[in-house]
Structure 1
Amino acid sequence: MPGDYADPSVVRVGKDYWATATSSEWAPLFPILHSTNLVDWETVGHVFPDKSPGWAEAHFWAPEISYDNGKYYIYYTAKKKGGNLCVGVASATKATGPYTDHGPLVCQEVGSIDGFPIRDEKGELYLIWKEDGNSVGKPTPLWGQRMNEGRTALTGEKFELFRNEKGTWEGGLVEGPALVKRNGYYYLFYAGDACCGRACTYGVGVARAKDLRGPWEKDPKNPIMKKNETWACPGHGTVVTDEKGRDFFLYHAYSANATVYPGRQGLLDEVIWGTDGWPTFQGNAPSVTALAPYRTNAKDELDIRDEFTTRQLAPTWQWFVEQQPKYTLQSGQGGRLVLQASPEKVGTVLGKRTVEADYTATAALHQRQLGSGVAAGLAAIGDPRNAVGVWVQNQEISLWSVKDGKETVHAKVAAPPADLLYFKLTTTKGDQLRFAWSTDGSTWTPLQEGNPINGDFLPPWDRGVRVGLLAKGPQGATAAYEWFRLEH
């Protein structure tokens, strides 16, 4: 899963694999991806395609997808409005939805995250989750508790499975529990230490017990997966069993080359069960190369060309959680996206995940359709307060950046009186950004001399950089785009 697909989860139903991943502060929330071979994935929908759950406001993390008795369930983390982090749940009769939200199941004082469902040997349903103690400098126990069949409440007393051990590789936390039953044991795969950012130290551990309530024994060889020269900070995944009985682990890691800029990307490794009963991975690290579990379609979807000729936006377009963009697609005459403006710092945003450190993004804008005071263009975006971009406003092209909410204009030139105005962003090493403009899409005029703009401030601690289209101005104003391209 190239790009920002942190905390991935996967389930097999028949011949189909369904997956989801963290959205954080980018909507639509929790992508639903489909595959028949665990390698080629297509985004086919979202758990919450239109708006956030009514009880939640931010931090949409770690969705766990499961299938039970004819229904699909998504156990997800979110911050309660005015409150703490909670584990909520939504359900649907089809993997693609529509999903019905059932609200939060558990909201501890320091936060509850990373929910995972499992049935015990008696068929009773439990929720396993992490108490987010590390957020206040405390340990992070993994808890279990009975859950009713309607998934609307936890029942009985909670019990602790185990917690992090300071002074070990686990550091300040254990999290991301994922359980499987094998040979009379429950095996719990988990992540330890710091998940995110340039200083991350994540790894994968495993523990086992014959009873869900314990006692739990951690593998003395932990961590069973750690970084290598190609991938850094692997962790937080789910085990899935294919039709042949092989187990695979879908998890995330940072590219050692691209580092934090594309975000935490989805990886797949086969679980190898040792003669001692403990699971391992080839090389105890993410596989650099490995045989695919099935023949793949060899699709190359890293490059994107959207000419807006369809009736709906492609499901991989994203926007800020707190901002519901309004737009229309004019599929006739070659296609066109008409994006309504907003007065926020960087305006209305439609973005795409980046998947490598080096990429080129281009867009074609109908300049003559811009109203007075409306700015429209192309940008690399970290969040609503951090972006670097180019736009045209009132017949003037500006190169600008917003860092921690403070805007700086780096260059300005008069815009030519052309209808179609083309913008290009060329990024190298993830943070070296150069911008140019054109009236024909082939001859480019750079907007800066000398050094590129340094965008090392763009990625938030838990997210990758997006690149996309902007429209800033009074409510009701619009910007019309002819096409958008992203090439890696």
Structure 2
Amino acid sequence: MWAPDNGDGTFKNPVINADYSDPDAVRVGSDFYLVSSSFNMAPGLPILHSKDLVNWTLIGHALPRQIPFDHFSKVQHGNGVWAPAIRYHKQEFYIYYPDPDFGIYMTKAASIKGPWSDPVLVAGGSGLIDPCPFWDEDGKAYLAHAYAGSRAGIKSIVVLKRMNIEGTKVLDAGTIVFDGHDQDPTLEGPKMYKRNGYYYIPAPAGGVATGWQLALRSKNIYGPYERKVVMDQGSSRVNGPHQGAWVNTAGGEDWFLHFRDKGAYGRVVHLQPMKWRNDWPVIGEDADGDGKGTPVSIYKKPTTGPAQPRVNPVESDEFDTVQPGLQWQWQANPMAYWAHTNVSAGTMRLFAVRVPDSTHNYWDVPNLLLQKFPADEFTATTKLTFKPRLQGDRAGLIVMGMDYAQLSLVYRDSIIYLEQGVCKQADKGKKEALTSLGTATGKDAWLRVKVMPGAKCKFSYSYNGNDYTDIPGEFTAREGRWVGAKVGLFATGVQQSNDAGWADVDWFRIE
């Protein structure tokens, strides 16, 4: 859907036009690996791979389910995995991630594809966010992190704590090494590096939508730290460019990966050139030479060796493998009986699991199978066969956010109907408005949503796969809590007996 590689030795931003917020990355040999926030979605902690920092593929997740398991068996919008950090240390990959309600965890693996260790609580407490480990040349280990004001009652500071050498627990209460209250409100997301005798803490400030990228430096790890704004929006169209990762190529080029907030499309990933001037990083293009860069839109690709295939994180799924594609995530820790693939039939069966009694709409339904919006414009189409058992069984296609819209088959009075549901302010518990589109002609249906610029969505349906009927009106997608809108599949019930109905999904295609 999106091709950041222009095929002529240049790239265009964003390099990942999908909601991989708070990116952090590391290079190991000639391979780059990126992780991002995943909040309440499961599996969590997505891992992406690239050879050239432009063409990225999704290769796995480090967190199959979130802990505590019972807590995340219910939908926890905006909670869970916040901004993580990935490092490669002594031939092992380490990922540190914060849960703002429980503390900072660590998981590690000898191979990037796992298996990943069970998460270890490195620093417990409410409001601890955005961790980054650092192993110094003298063998000492540290953990830098920030605080979430919503939990801790304070924000805009960076704290440094000693860790044991294994990186499994902090050893002290920590020391404030930088206070951003005077010039850098909402300072967060610190990363830590060392270069030419300086300790560097790149950190975003000013808020997601309108902020800037800060760099802190000191000859002493505990400071005092000098500050400098090294990138902001300037004259570009890239709002709030900040929070990310400094990486270098095997040939010594420096680059910076960060996100940009695009509302319903989420927080997409940009790549910026990075230079050093007087031992300060300059990120983006510095046309006036003041040491503060602005984001590039088109730029020469990193020099990383042979040309790489033009790829993007996976989007479509034919459901012809044992596991569904890596792009799919549930709204909560999944149960084994929610779904399974049938390789011989090339389908995925979603069971019409009864929705929790506490739900007012689909906002808090855990068994929604969703993926990120992959571009500004796309069409998602799915073919499914509906086999209900009980009154109120329903299955269909959904665009999910704080407002949502769904198109589905529903079983009522021994008849299958087609309905559209729209819910405004779903996050506030508002009721879904349903519109009947008549009796379905059978159990098979082709359901489609076309997403246009501005996240405007046009739904349509077919009963033969060729002739589609547009549904009047448009729905404008909204972001979720700290995330972009998502598109995907669901099957639900409102009753429970000794078995459940289902929908067999033949395929899900993004075009």
The normalised TM-score by structure 2 is 0.84
- Is the CA contact 1:353–1:464 (under 8 Å) kept in the aligned structure 2? yes
Q: What corresponds to 2:135 in structure 1?
A: 119
- Describe the SS at the equivalent of 1:176: coil
User: Does residue 359 of structure 2 align to residue 338 of structure 1?
Assistant: no
Q: What corresponds to 1:250 in structure 2?
A: 257
| Corresponding letter in the other structure for 1:471 | A
- Is the CA contact 2:51–2:308 (under 8 Å) kept in the aligned structure 1? no
Listed as ranges, the matches of 1:24-173 within 5 Å are: 24-52=39-67, 54=69, 57=72, 58-79=79-100, 84-108=101-125, 111-133=127-149, 138-156=154-172, 158-166=174-182, 168=183, 170-171=184-185, 173=186
- Is the CA contact 1:10–1:65 (under 8 Å) kept in the aligned structure 2? yes
Q: What is the CA–CA distance in structure 1 between the aligned matches of 2:213 and 2:410, rounded to whole Å? A: 49
Listed as ranges, the matches of 1:164-203 within 5 Å are: 164-166=180-182, 168=183, 170-171=184-185, 173-195=186-208, 200-203=209-212
- Is the CA contact 1:23–1:30 (under 8 Å) kept in the aligned structure 2? yes
User: Does residue 475 of structure 2 align to residue 453 of structure 1?
Assistant: yes
Q: What is the CA–CA distance in structure 2 between the aligned matches of 1:417 and 1:116, rounded to whole Å? A: 56
Q: What corresponds to 1:297 in structure 2?
A: 308
Structure 1: runs of 5 or more not aligned? none
User: Does residue 314 of structure 2 align to residue 311 of structure 1?
Assistant: no
Q: What is the CA–CA distance in structure 1 between the aligned matches of 2:207 and 2:151, rounded to whole Å? A: 12
CA 330–54 in structure 1, closer or farther in 2 if over 3 Å, else same: closer
- Is the CA contact 2:56–2:313 (under 8 Å) kept in the aligned structure 1? no
Match among 235, 239, 264 for residue 261 of structure 1: 264
State the 1:189 CA deviation. Answer: 0.7
Q: What is the CA–CA distance in structure 2 between the aligned matches of 1:218 and 1:229, rounded to whole Å? A: 23
Q: What is the CA–CA distance in structure 2 between the aligned matches of 1:53 and 1:238, rounded to whole Å? A: 29
- Is the CA contact 1:40–1:296 (under 8 Å) kept in the aligned structure 2? no
| Corresponding letter in the other structure for 2:283 | F
Bigger mean CA offset, 88-97 vs 290-299: 290-299
Q: What is the CA–CA distance in structure 2 between the aligned matches of 1:393 and 1:128, rounded to whole Å? A: 51
Q: What is the CA–CA distance in structure 1 between the aligned matches of 2:342 and 2:235, rounded to whole Å? A: 47
Match among 435, 449, 466 for residue 425 of structure 1: 449
Q: What is the CA–CA distance in structure 2 between the aligned matches of 1:477 and 1:4, rounded to whole Å? A: 33
- Describe the SS at the equivalent of 1:142: strand
User: Does residue 469 of structure 2 align to residue 462 of structure 1?
Assistant: no
| Corresponding letter in the other structure for 2:400 | I
Q: What is the CA–CA distance in structure 1 between the aligned matches of 2:234 and 2:151, rounded to whole Å? A: 24
Q: CA RMSD in A?
A: 2.3
User: Does residue 393 of structure 2 align to residue 374 of structure 1?
Assistant: yes
Q: What is the CA–CA distance in structure 1 between the aligned matches of 2:482 and 2:67, rounded to whole Å? A: 19
Q: Deviations over 1:400-442 (max 9, x none)?
A: 1232332333421223333421111122234422211111222
Match among 268, 271, 275 for residue 272 of structure 1: 275
| Corresponding letter in the other structure for 2:41 | W
Q: What is the CA–CA distance in structure 2 between the aligned matches of 1:319 and 1:132, rounded to whole Å? A: 25
Q: What corresponds to 2:213 in structure 1?
A: 204
- Is the CA contact 1:230–1:288 (under 8 Å) kept in the aligned structure 2? no
More strand per residue: 1 or 2? 1
State the 1:261 CA deviation. Answer: 1.4
Bigger mean CA offset, 49-58 vs 310-319: 49-58
Structure 2: runs of 5 or more not aligned? 1-15, 73-78, 286-292, 356-360
State the 1:91 CA deviation. Answer: 1.4
- Is the CA contact 2:143–2:161 (under 8 Å) kept in the aligned structure 1? yes
Q: What corresponds to 1:405 in structure 2?
A: 429
- Is the CA contact 1:338–1:481 (under 8 Å) kept in the aligned structure 2? yes
Structure number with higher relative contact order (C-alpha < 8 Å, ≥ 6 residues apart): 2
CA 90–56 in structure 1, closer or farther in 2 if over 3 Å, else same: farther
Percent identical residues: 27
State the 1:313 CA deviation. Answer: 0.8
Q: Deviations over 1:47-75 (max 9, x none)?
A: 11245455974331111111111211110
- Is the CA contact 1:398–1:409 (under 8 Å) kept in the aligned structure 2? no
User: Does residue 18 of structure 2 align to residue 3 of structure 1?
Assistant: yes
- Is the CA contact 2:454–2:476 (under 8 Å) kept in the aligned structure 1? no
- Describe the SS at the equivalent of 2:457: strand
CA 342–182 in structure 1, closer or farther in 2 if over 3 Å, else same: same
